[in-house]
């Protein structure tokens, strides 16, 4: 512990983001770094707790508490305070294959369970993590490390999102020949097309790491959808083991009147087409433009925020984000104690940008859509909404109930549905004969990841349902460990 009194002497400090109005002019990342001296002070705030909840990685009240990949947070906080950046990077890479991703897009459940956070603002763990890995790239410390020996075993990984990439990285490290199949035109899955460029740069961050994986021996085959243009049965013949990491990409729909009108889209249609246009340098026929339009985003999670930020950069005329849940409190409620994830109000980057341009947070709470209104051409022109209250039904479950007399009509020429995901798409699982759980996910026990087919493993959102990127990394690493054990009879993977 570098400075025992650091948590008493220094206050939490984060770097200022780029101006909310200035960053709307481009697709560049908006986060900045603190000067090194200031960041070392932030590292000194870590208390080196006797029981560091920040890296416990458990579920409390159904939400992540602590780091799911068990990052050695107190250790690298102390190393940063001492200015030992390379050593900090080594400790960070012990548990995290891709800290440049988690350092940007993880919601930081580690900070929610930081012991200092009981009565003071938590340590800036996420910002420190991101700076460590960025420092490593800048100094040339992150290089390809191919395995010294190959096992002769071939493993197919289906899906190149967070779970697939972490599984591939670990299996390759164990010496297996790993081939990753991706149906999109670029690898990366959610990291490539599900998260906008201003939040996670594709060229300078994602592709940079993918290039290192290729140099280490991982093979990526894109434009290939297993079960469609590559028979699933072929994988079972050609590979010694298969890891399913296809994600939970079936979106939750909103089956109300007018759902089939033009201009009503799932969020991922919108985000994927936009990122492809940014990367290609031109728009194709699937591009969805918000320029000059009244936009309504339905759904209040991270995907909804990404839709807000993207529409703002397109130059939308107005924007409203509809959220069926109540507005969170500014501080932890009594029924949301530490170390649970703090369900508190925050102005995320997209809402901050909308507020800067339009004067207020675009979210309306305790509201649901009841109907999409059509214009003369069969295109959406308005969203009918109503306020709701949450009441218990006869089973004791909380359900939303419409409040008569609160109906409104929001102008809208573009509606984006960002209400989460129901589970994995089913055709591949059906073609392989994979057993499903009651929620339609691939049935495989946590920490074992084995499906009903010998040698076929499932990890990430396709096994656990929609979750955090960092949980997908946890599961990809775990599935790699169990796959290696299956292939070799034992494993040294963590």
Q: How many other CB atoms sit within 10 Å of the CB of residue 27?
A: 21
57-60 long-range contacts, CB within 8 A, separation 24+: 57/474, 60/339, 60/340, 60/341
What is the end-to-end Cα distance of the chain in Å, rounded? 26
Mean pLDDT throughout 385-403?
94
Domain membership of residue 148 (yes or no) is no
Q: What average pLDDT is seen over the chain?
A: 96
Final residue of a structural domain among 78, 106, 138: 138
Rounded Cα distance, 15 and 127, in Å: 9
Would you place residue 444 in the very low, low, confident or very high pLDDT band (cuts 50, 70, 90)? very high
50 and 131 together in one domain: yes
173 and 189 together in one domain: yes
Distances (CA, A) of 370 to 76, 265, 409: 50, 16, 10
Compute φ and ψ for 207, nearest 5 degrees.
-65, -30
181: left (phi over 0), alpha (psi -120 to 50) or beta: beta
286 and 408 together in one domain: yes
Domain membership of residue 21 (yes or no) is yes
**What does the DSSP 8-state code read for residue 162?**
H
Would you place residue 73 in the very low, low, confident or very high pLDDT band (cuts 50, 70, 90)? very high
Domain membership of residue 175 (yes or no) is yes
Residue with tokens 């900045």: 32
Domain membership of residue 327 (yes or no) is yes
Task: Give the CATH number, domain containing residue 415.
Answer: 3.50.50.60
Mean pLDDT throughout 282-288?
94
Would you place residue 1 in the very low, low, confident or very high pLDDT band (cuts 50, 70, 90)? low
Mean pLDDT throughout 45-70?
90
Structure tokens at 193: 């097309």
Final residue of a structural domain among 72, 107, 138: 138
261 and 233 together in one domain: no
Rounded Cα distance, 387 and 406, in Å: 6
325 and 431 together in one domain: no
* Selection from 31, 47, 212, 223 nearest residue 118 by Cα: 47
Residue 61 has pLDDT above 90, yes or no: no
Helix-helix angle 302-314:267-280, to 10 degrees = 50
Mean pLDDT throughout 182-195?
97
Domain membership of residue 323 (yes or no) is yes
Domain membership of residue 1 (yes or no) is no
Q: Are 192 and 271 in contact (CB under 8 A)?
A: no
Structure tokens at 73: 């947070």
Final residue of a structural domain among 395, 419, 443: 419
In the chain, % of residues over pLDDT 70: 100
190 and 240 together in one domain: yes
Q: Which residues lie closer than 8 Å to 83 by C-beta, 6 or more apart? A: 36, 40
Structure tokens at 93: 């890479």
Mean pLDDT throughout 344-373?
97
242 and 292 together in one domain: no
344 and 396 together in one domain: yes
Strands 367-374, 380-392: pairing kind? antiparallel
379 and 297 together in one domain: yes
377 and 470 together in one domain: no
Task: Give the CATH number, domain containing residue 56.
Answer: 1.10.1060.10
When computed from its CA atoms, the radius of gyration of the chain, rounded to whole angstroms, is 23
261 and 245 together in one domain: no
Structure tokens at 80: 């940063």
Domain membership of residue 116 (yes or no) is yes
Position 337 scores a pLDDT of 94
212-238 residues labelled b (16+ CB within 10 A) or e (exposed): bbeebbbebeeebbbbeebebeebbee
Structure tokens at 137: 């790239």
Rounded Cα distance, 113 and 122, in Å: 8
352 and 372 together in one domain: yes
Structure tokens at 63: 């939400």
* Residues spanned by the domain of 103: 6-138
Domain membership of residue 54 (yes or no) is yes
Half-sphere exposure of 461 (CA within 13 A, CB side): 23
Number of domains the chain contains: 3
């Amino acid at each position: 512990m570098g400075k025992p009194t650091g948590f008493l002497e220094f206050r939490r400090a984060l770097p200022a983001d780029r101006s909310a109005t200035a960053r709307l002019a481009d697709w560049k990342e908006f986060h900045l770094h603190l000067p090194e001296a200031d960041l070392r002070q932030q590292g000194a705030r870590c208390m080196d707790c006797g029981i560091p909840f920040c890296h416990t990685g458990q579920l409390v009240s159904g939400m992540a508490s602590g780091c799911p990949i068990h990052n050695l947070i107190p250790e690298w906080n102390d190393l940063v305070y001492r200015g030992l950046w390379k050593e900090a990077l080594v400790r960070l890479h012990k548990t995290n294959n891709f800290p440049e991703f988690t350092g940007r897009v993880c919601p930081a459940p580690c900070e929610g369970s930081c012991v200092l956070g009981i009565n003071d603002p938590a340590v800036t763990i996420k910002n420190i993590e991101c700076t460590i890995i960025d420092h490593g790239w800048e100094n040339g410390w992150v290089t390809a490390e191919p395995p010294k020996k190959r096992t002769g075993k071939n493993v197919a990984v289906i899906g190149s999102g967070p779970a697939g990439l972490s599984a591939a990285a670990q299996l390759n490290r164990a010496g297996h020949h790993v081939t990753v199949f991706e149906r999109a035109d670029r690898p990366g899955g959610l990291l490539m097309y599900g998260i906008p460029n201003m939040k996670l740069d594709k060229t300078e961050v994602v592709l940079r790491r993918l290039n290192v994986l290729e140099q280490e021996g991982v093979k990526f085959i894109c434009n290939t959808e297993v079960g469609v243009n590559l028979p699933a049965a072929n994988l079972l013949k050609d590979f010694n083991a298969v890891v399913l990491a296809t994600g939970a990409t079936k979106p939750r729909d909103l089956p109300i009147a007018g759902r089939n009108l033009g201009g009503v889209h799932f969020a991922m249609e919108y985000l994927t087409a936009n990122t492809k246009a940014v990367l290609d340098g031109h728009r194709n026929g699937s591009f969805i433009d918000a320029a000059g339009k009244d936009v309504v985003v339905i759904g209040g999670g991270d995907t909804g925020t990404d839709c807000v930020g993207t529409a703002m950069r397109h130059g939308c005329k107005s924007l409203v984000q509809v959220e069926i849940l109540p507005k969170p409190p500014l501080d932890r409620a009594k029924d949301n104690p530490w170390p649970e994830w703090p369900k508190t109000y925050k102005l995320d980057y997209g809402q901050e940008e909308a507020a800067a341009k339009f004067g207020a947070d675009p979210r309306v709470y305790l509201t649901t859509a009841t109907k999409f209104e059509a214009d003369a051409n069969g295109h959406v022109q308005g969203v009918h909404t109503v306020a709701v209250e949450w009441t218990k039904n006869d089973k004791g479950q909380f359900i939303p109930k419409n409040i008569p007399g609160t109906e409104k009509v929001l102008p809208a020429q573009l509606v984006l549905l960002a209400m989460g995901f129901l589970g994995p798409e089913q055709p591949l699982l059906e073609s392989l004969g994979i057993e499903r759980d009651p929620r339609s996910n691939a049935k495989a026990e946590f920490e074992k990841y084995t499906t009903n087919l010998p040698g076929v493993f499932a990890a990430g959102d396709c096994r656990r349902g929609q979750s955090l990127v960092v949980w997908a990394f946890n599961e990809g690493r775990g599935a790699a460990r169990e796959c290696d054990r299956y292939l070799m009879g034992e494993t040294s993977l963590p």
